[in-house]
Amino acid sequence: MNRKLDAIDRRILNVLQVHGRLSIVDLAERVHLTKTPCSERVKRLERDGIIAGYSANLNPAEVDMGHVMIVHVNLSKTSDSSLEEFNRAVKLIPEVQSCLMIAGPFDYMLRVRTRDITQFREVLGEQISQLPSVMQTHSFAVMEMVKETSMIELRS
């Protein structure tokens, strides 16, 4: 980050994380700025890569994608090139919503969202197990999503 975020930047970012479709006029009102300086700040935050993009949050049940599994992955080798190859390949599987490299008893933790267990089994067998250097996987069914957010609370 090139410059430190001030209190107004933080307010803008907090509001946009919850209300990404607000007009600049409404955003400016909520953060107590006039339209032009608010617009300039948002453009700078976008240009600096602090705001990485905008998206719609879908209700998984309403689009028939309510099944979530956690998959622990162990690799047969963890050289830099093996890790990079795995990282590139896993990004190509749309059902993998997150992939975390872990320090612990396994190498990666994946969150996989599918229609149902049948589709998950296909994704696991045809895609995840075929990823570079995959030696072993352990899958866990998510019974209930208690909390899920991508919001980062920025305090002043």
Q: Mean pLDDT in the chain?
A: 95
Could you tell me which residues come within 8 angstroms of residue 126 by beta carbon, excluding any fewer than 6 positions away?
A: none
What phi and psi values does residue 109 have, to the nearest 5 degrees? -125, 125
Query: The domain spanning residue 41 has which CATH number?
Result: 1.10.10.10
Q: What is the mean pLDDT of residues 14-34?
A: 96
130-154 pLDDT per residue, tens: 999 999 999 999 999 999 999 999 9
The tally of domains found in the chain comes to: 2
What share of the chain has pLDDT > 70, as a percent?
Answer: 97
Tell me: do 71 and 132 sit in the same domain.
yes
Residue closest to 137 by CA, chosen among 125, 154, 148, 146: 125
pLDDT at 4: 87
Q: What is the mean pLDDT of residues 41-47?
A: 97
Helix, coil or strand: residue 75:
strand
pLDDT at 1: 47
Could you tell me which residues come within 8 angstroms of residue 46 by beta carbon, excluding any fewer than 6 positions away?
A: none
Question: Side by side, which strands form the sheet with 134-141?
Answer: 96-101, 108-114, 67-75, 134-141
pLDDT at 106 over 60: yes
Q: What is the mean pLDDT of residues 97-105?
A: 97
Q: What is the mean pLDDT of residues 1-27?
A: 91
Tell me: do 85 and 20 sit in the same domain.
no
Domain that holds residue 34: 7-47
Tokens linked to 73: 């992955």
Residue 2: band (very low, low, confident or very high) from pLDDT cuts 50, 70, 90: low
Q: Is residue 129, in this structure, part of any structural domain at all?
A: yes
pLDDT at 95: 98
52-84 pLDDT per residue, tens: 999 999 999 999 999 999 999 999 999 999 999
Tell me: do 131 and 69 sit in the same domain.
yes
Residue 71 CA to residue 109 CA, distance in Å, equals 6
User: Does the global pTM surpass 0.75?
Assistant: yes
Q: Is residue 77, in this structure, part of any structural domain at all?
A: yes
